[in-house]
Amino acid sequence: MKLLLLPGDGIGPEIMGATRTVLAAADRRYGLGLEMEEAAIGFDGLAASGTTIPDTVLAAARAADGIVLGPVSHNAYPPVAEGGRNPSGVLRVALDLFANIRPAVTRAVLPSPLGRPFDLVILRENTEGFYADRNMHAGPGEVMPDPDMALALRKITRRACARIADAAFRMAALRPARHVTAVHKANVLRLSDGLFLEECRKQAERHPDIAYDEVLVDAMAAHLVRAPDRYDVIVTTNMYGDILSDLAGELSGSLGLAASLNAGTDHAMAQAQHGSAPDIAGRDVANPAALIGSAAMLLDWLAERHDRRNMADAAAGIRASLEAALADPESRTPDLGGRAGTAAMARGIADSL
């Protein structure tokens, strides 16, 4: 089973090293047969090959069974014409990773700003929407007709809406609450969000045993703050999902805990929700929990795809060991009130495995 590890920028190499330590321990414990290969992207890729995501990396990603992507500082990259492409967006489009799955769950051992438990997951369409780096066949989705005017184009297709809606209902069928909420702004974006809702409603008709409702995106931002426990599976388009999932992750305790998986039909890529935090890079204080949790999600995806029970067992073992580390101030990082460094937290999780 081949995993491609792409450390990225800022704290990326540190939390990728921590994640590799945990994956290696899981490999030994559960006999996974992992082959882990690293490749340079981001500023390291730019320095080595003139681009932040070389074609060789794309080829390796297509050949791998799974990918683990570290955070990238794409906002600081040079223009695309000078090699500064966003590796995350490029990989999502190239591998057709249409579903960005972002759980948000509170933990009794860590404080939440809300002081109330909740367990929800946001499914965000990943390949189009307002994201200018991935919604056109050629050229960006933003143009400037003159120096004082900028236009952004939003692409919403029936195919993309149908498959993210289908993924949401399939996920809800596996969860106790069995509830899907579609988030939209169809009162203003009548055509594009209207198309999204059409496909969600079709899936609701096909799954009468799963509760279904619809909420405006601005109302959902308020509801998440007031009563996140009302929700189970939230499905939405790209930009709404990006914003709401960061809000939900922070409300659950910290973005440093926010795992995610980019999943398609043939490929999947683990990726923490948070950014590259260059201000703390190299200090051994970065929280690796989100990327470690994302790697566990990837193992679950591989378990289902390849019918590998030991992969599912390894994912469960990683999650249990991660929770144990988070429960102990001696084993978690300073951002969570702990006293362990990045590498020490990873070693503790690996030892627990």
Give the residue-averaged pLDDT of 333-344.
96
185 noted as active-site residue: yes
Residue 111 in this model has a pLDDT that exceeds 90: no
pLDDT of residue 132: 79
Tell me the β-bridge partners of 322.
none
Residue 228 in this model has a pLDDT that exceeds 90: yes
Indicate the burial class of 146 (C-beta count within 10 angstroms; 0-12, 13-18, 19 or more). Answer: exposed
Residues 257-294 pLDDT 10s: 999 999 999 999 999 999 999 999 999 999 999 999 99
Q: Residues 96, 246, 284, 328: which is the catalytic one?
A: 246
Pairing relationship of beta strands 119-125 and 233-236 according to DSSP bridges? parallel
Q: Residues 131, 212, 231, 240: which is the catalytic one?
A: 131
Residues 153-195 pLDDT 10s: 999 999 999 999 999 999 999 999 999 999 999 999 999 999 9
Pairing relationship of beta strands 268-271 and 66-69 according to DSSP bridges? parallel
Opening angle at CA 106, ends 120 and 5, nearest 5: 80
202 noted as active-site residue: no
Residues 295-338 pLDDT 10s: 999 999 999 999 999 999 999 999 999 999 999 999 999 999 99
pLDDT of residue 136: 81
The rounded distance, in Å, linking the Cα atoms of 161 and 44 is 36
Number of Cβ within a 10 Å radius of residue 76: 13
pLDDT of residue 140: 84
What are the angstrom distances between the C-alpha of 353 and each of 19, 77, 311? 13, 38, 14
Residue 194: partners with Cβ closer than 8 Å, 6 or more residues away: 186
Indicate the burial class of 310 (C-beta count within 10 angstroms; 0-12, 13-18, 19 or more). Answer: middle
Evaluate whether 346 touches 22 at the Cβ level (below 8 Å): yes
Give the residue-averaged pLDDT of 224-228.
96
Q: Residues 9, 193, 242, 300: which is the catalytic one?
A: 242
pLDDT band for 137, please (50, 70, 90 cuts).
confident
pLDDT of residue 133: 80
Q: Residues 218, 229, 266, 351: which is the catalytic one?
A: 218
pLDDT band for 69, please (50, 70, 90 cuts).
very high
Residue 108 in this model has a pLDDT that exceeds 90: no
Q: Residues 2, 96, 119, 185: which is the catalytic one?
A: 185
Which domains are seen in the chain, by residue range? 1-103+253-353 (3.40.718.10), 112-251 (3.40.718.10)
pLDDT band for 109, please (50, 70, 90 cuts).
confident
pLDDT band for 243, please (50, 70, 90 cuts).
very high
- Helix, strand or coil, per DSSP, at residue 28: helix
> In this structure, is the dihedral angle defined by the CA atoms of residues 142, 265, 183 and 207, taken in order, positive or negative?
positive
Residue 9 in this model has a pLDDT that exceeds 90: yes
The rounded distance, in Å, linking the Cα atoms of 137 and 313 is 40
Residue 29 in this model has a pLDDT that exceeds 90: yes
Tell me the β-bridge partners of 179.
211
pLDDT of residue 99: 98
The rounded distance, in Å, linking the Cα atoms of 58 and 91 is 7
Question: Nearest to residue 287, comparing CAs of 87, 3, 14, 10?
Answer: 14
Give the residue-averaged pLDDT of 201-212.
98
Evaluate whether 346 touches 327 at the Cβ level (below 8 Å): no
DSSP string, 118-130: -EEEEEEE-S-BT
Pairing relationship of beta strands 233-236 and 179-184 according to DSSP bridges? parallel
Evaluate whether 260 touches 301 at the Cβ level (below 8 Å): no
Evaluate whether 134 touches 123 at the Cβ level (below 8 Å): no
231 noted as active-site residue: no
Give the residue-averaged pLDDT of 239-251.
96
Residue 240: partners with Cβ closer than 8 Å, 6 or more residues away: 124, 183, 184, 185, 217, 220
